[in-house]
Structure 1
Amino acid sequence: MRRFISRILLPAFLLVPAAALLAGCGPEAGATSASAAAAPELKWDELIPKSWDPTKRYRNISLEALRDNDPRAIQMLDEMRAVWDNAPVNVALDGTAVKLSGFVVPLDNTQNGIQEFLLVPYFGACIHTPPPPANQIVHVIATQAFKGLHAMDTVKVSGVLKAARYASADMGVSGYEIKSAAVERFVATQPN
């Protein structure tokens, strides 16, 4: 059961906003459109409706008493995955211009670079751990392929946020998308 907690439940409780992980980093110099520059910077928790609590059902269950192969643990894992894949989005953000910082999970990778990827709030999401809830994954389609971009690189994405489901066979379900996105790479800066 410890693996169940560390692989599934722990990431839900520890959804560390990318902004916290990117503290001390700033966007690389580059041109962005005026509307993208004026867009507000979102925090990952703003993508989650205030009333949604995926862990409520599991608070009174003694998870440490369950073993990984216990049918109840397997059933809870399946139920939680379904809840996360169908996580509600914050509809108030639908159609708004935003900026959002996070980590890249590539969906394509050509010699021209990466143009389509999932943006996730914490390092390792969708790759080393089960995917976060759908309302914590943004499907990004950049205006052009970005050369030199790799899995788990940190970026800032600007564009119009839409509530739209996208299911990747291997990487999870996103609840949002940003098409024609402007993508900027982050580089570490010295703290003041």
Structure 2
Amino acid sequence: MTTHPSRRAFMACAAATLVPGRALANPYREIGWEDLIPAGVPYGQIIGPGQIDAVNDTWVPEFDANAARANETLNGKPVKLPGYIIPFDMTSKGVTSFMLVPYVGACIHTPPPPPNQLVFVRTRTPWPSESMWDPVWVSGRLSAKAMTTQIADVGYQIAAEKIETYKWQ
């Protein structure tokens, strides 16, 4: 006696063959700020003791060579990183380029974090200015390409493919 697969079994098998599991998964790897530091370099080794700027009444950090080193294994990878927005360019529709920083007030109320803890983001879809102070997720391809801005030296760049409000879990 010959048995044939049921129509349901056939369709399930065909769907599994035609749509690989990876295509259904999130294409972005969720990373944290510690992932931007090269493996084997403790956070305490990228920031030195620093000094007080008495004129401006601020602390000026001292960074060593590790502070500018990028995690090259992430270069060109699609990532999803949480952070806060420091706006650079704005239109009437919202922010089109910004620095993504790891904590509220970085670069504005405090000295900037090390370069490998800052990400410059460009987006084609402006992020609404009324949501600018909310934490966000930025998804896109990470580039370990340093640049200098008027606020700080930045260690990474992302062309944002998706920006969304960060939801606390």
Settle same-fold status: TM greater than 0.5.
Answer: yes
**What do residues 65-85 of structure 1 show as CA deviations (whole Å, max 9, x unaligned)?**
x8766xxxxxx947x15x479
Give unpaired runs (5+ residues) of structure 2: 1-22
Letter in 2 for 1:119: L
Match of 2:104 among 95, 104, 123: 123
Matches of residues 15-164 of structure 1 in structure 2 within 5 Å?
Answer: 37-52=26-41, 53-55=45-47, 58=49, 77=60, 80=62, 83=64, 87-149=68-130, 151-164=132-145
Q: Going by fraction, where is helix more abundant, 1 or 2?
A: 1
2:164 is aligned with 1:175: no
TM value normalised by structure 2 = 0.70
- What is the identity, as a one-letter code, of the residue corresponding to 2:156? Y
Structure 1 residues 93-150: Cα deviation after superposition (integer angstroms, max 9, x where no partner) = 0000000010011011221210100101111101100110010000001121122355
Number of aligned residue pairs: give it: 141
Give the distance between the partners of 1:106 and 1:99, measured in 2 at CA. 19
Q: Which has the larger radius of gyration?
A: 2
The residue identity in structure 2 corresponding to 1:39 is: Y
* Identity rate, percent: 36
Question: What is the RMSD of the two structures over their aligned residues, measured on CA atoms?
Answer: 3.1
Separation (CA, whole Å) in 1 of partners of 2:163 and 2:25: 10
Question: Counterpart of 1:29?
Answer: none
Q: Cα–Cα, structure 1 residues 89 and 36, in superposed 2: closer, same or farther, change >3 Å?
A: farther
1:184 aligns with 2:168: no
Amino acid of the structure 2 residue aligned with 1:54: I
* Structure 1 pair 141–92 and aligned structure 2 pair: CA distance change class (3 A): same
Tell which has more relative contact order, 1 or 2 (C-alpha 8 A, sep 6+): 1
Which 4+ residue blocks in structure 1 deviate beyond 4 angstroms? 66-69
